[in-house]
């Protein structure tokens, strides 16, 4: 088979979910609605937190960063897909594909580590309440976010460089609506052993590391809550973690299921449909999850939307 160097590959074909023309308007309307809700919802969370001094706490600082990450995470994939539907094209340039893949990895990793940082914040708040303000200083919060960004950017650059070293055939088709890293790697004509090895290593380190920290934090939180004497204290402590726990369940549940299905059949179109859950649905739901049961957030949003 004739191989072309990666610099000679000018474009890639994204197959998306379905090539049925009748389904394209429905897909466009549905994805556009979810994207707008995601952006507006997360933007309102950021504006509410930044404009109300009583929300300038470590928990809400991390939540604002998670909302920003969710906006960027969704923006790396959905706008390009919507444009392709509108102009009836399935093409993305090679450079655009690599760029999209890199930013997708960066913001997926960033969201992963921010969830771990938020779990640590809840661990300190419930298990060490008297030392909370001493431990969770503004300097530490900034350092945690900078560390999350550093790891995420390095991870995105590493994966991009690993793909850039590969050779691709003259015609590349991806049964996905964006340039997902695993799909791109398995369309290469060169050996993918190193990339697969790195992917498995990252699944353990980048995925399993924060998840282990989250599980450890909540095991300690559960032990502390059980030690509380009153039912009211237990309910109050649990309610401060409920939103975060639900977000973690959505993010890890959907992303792990996609990873397992991609490992079983990386060419399956159903993997693309399942990817919508953690690329669009979870970021869209996060503003509702963190505001519906949070009195302070609802009050801040009400003041933001309906100022007197």
The pLDDT of residue 5: 42
Distance CA 117, CA 146 (A): 11
**Buried b or exposed e, range 73-83, using 16+ CB within 10 angstroms:** bbbbbbebbbe
Distance CA 45, CA 161 (A): 35
The pLDDT of residue 63: 94
Distance CA 116, CA 218 (A): 11
What domains appear along the chain, each with residue ranges and CATH number? 6-305 (1.20.1070.10)
Is pLDDT larger for residue 292 or for residue 213? 213
The pLDDT of residue 4: 43
The pLDDT of residue 140: 96
Percent of the chain with pLDDT over 70: 90
pLDDT at 278 over 60: yes
The pLDDT of residue 267: 55
Tell me how far CA of residue 220 lies from CA of 101, 116, 123, 227, in angstroms: 36, 14, 7, 11
The pLDDT of residue 132: 92
CA 88, 94, 99, 102 torsion-angle sign: positive
Is pLDDT larger for residue 286 or for residue 117? 117
The pLDDT of residue 279: 86
Q: Which of 2-16, 21-35, 113-127, 257-271 has the highest mean pLDDT?
A: 113-127
> What is the chain written as a DSSP string?
---B-GGG--EEEE--S---GGGHHHHHHHHHHHHHHHHHHHHHHHHHHHH-GGG-SHHHHHHHHHHHHHHHHHHTTHHHHHHHHHTT--EEEHHHHHHHHHHHHHHHHHHHHHHHHHHHHHHHHHHSGGGHHHHS-HHHHHHHHHHHHHHHHHHHHHHHHHHHTS-B-S--EESSSS--HHHHHTTBSS--HHHHHHHHHHIIIIIHHHHHHHHHHHHHHHHHHHH-SSHHHHHHHHHHHHHHHHHHHHHHHHHHHHHHHHHH-TT-HHHHHHHHIIIIIHHHHHHHHHHHT-HHHHHHHHHHHS--
At 173, list the tokens.
Answer: 């088709």
Residue 16 region by backbone torsions, left for phi larger than 0, else alpha for psi between -120 and 50, else beta: left
pLDDT in tens, 141-181: 999 999 999 999 999 999 999 888 888 877 788 888 888 88
Contact status, residue 290 vs residue 45, Cβ threshold 8 Å: yes
Please report, in angstroms and rounded to a whole number, the separation of the first and last CA atoms in the chain: 70
pLDDT at 262 over 70: no
pLDDT at 212 over 50: yes
Is pLDDT larger for residue 14 or for residue 266? 14
The pLDDT of residue 261: 63
Can you say how many angstroms the Cα of residue 140 is from the centroid of all Cα atoms in its chain?
A: 23
Question: How confident is the prediction for the chain on average, in pLDDT?
Answer: 85
Q: Assign 77 a pLDDT band (cuts: 50, 70, 90).
A: very high
The pLDDT of residue 84: 87
User: What's the number of CA atoms in the CB half-sphere (13 Å) around residue 178?
Assistant: 27
- Pair type for strands 11-14 and 91-93: antiparallel
The pLDDT of residue 7: 44
Q: Determine the average pLDDT of the residues in 230-255.
A: 82
pLDDT in tens, 8-36: 567 888 877 666 677 778 888 999 999 99
Q: Assign 41 a pLDDT band (cuts: 50, 70, 90).
A: very high
pTM, 2 dp: 0.89
């Amino acid at each position: 088979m004739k191989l072309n160097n990666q610099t000679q590959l000018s474009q890639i074909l994204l197959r998306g979910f379905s090539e049925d023309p009748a389904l394209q308007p429905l897909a466009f309307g549905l994805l556009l609605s979810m994207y707008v809700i995601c952006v507006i919802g997360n933007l309102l969370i950021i504006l509410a937190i930044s404009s109300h001094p009583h929300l300038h706490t470590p928990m809400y600082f991390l939540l604002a960063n998670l909302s920003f990450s969710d906006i960027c995470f969704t923006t790396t994939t959905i706008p390009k897909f919507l444009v392709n539907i509108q102009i009836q094209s399935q093409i993305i340039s090679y450079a655009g594909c690599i760029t999209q893949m890199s930013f997708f990895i960066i913001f997926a990793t960033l969201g992963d580590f921010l969830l771990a940082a938020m779990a640590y914040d809840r661990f300190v708040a419930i298990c060490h309440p008297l030392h909370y303000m001493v431990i969770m200083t503004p300097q530490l919060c900034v350092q945690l976010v900078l560390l999350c960004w550093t790891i995420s950017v390095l991870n995105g650059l590493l994966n991009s460089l690993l793909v850039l070293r590969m050779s691709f055939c003259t015609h590349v088709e991806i049964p996905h609506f964006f340039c997902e890293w695993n799909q791109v790697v398995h369309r290469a004509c060169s050996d993918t052993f190193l990339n697969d090895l790195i992917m498995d290593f990252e699944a353990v380190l980048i995925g399993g590391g924060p998840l282990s920290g989250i599980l450890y934090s909540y095991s300690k939180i559960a032990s502390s809550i059980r030690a509380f004497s009153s039912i009211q204290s237990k309910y109050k402590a649990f309610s401060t973690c409920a939103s975060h726990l639900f977000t973690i369940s959505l993010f890890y549940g959907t992303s792990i299921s996609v990873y397992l299905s991609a490992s079983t059949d990386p060419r399956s179109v159903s993997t693309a449909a399942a990817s919508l859950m953690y690329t669009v649905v979870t970021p869209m739901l996060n503003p509702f999850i963190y505001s519906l049961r949070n009195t302070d957030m609802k009050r801040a949003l009400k003041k933001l939307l309906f100022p007197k």
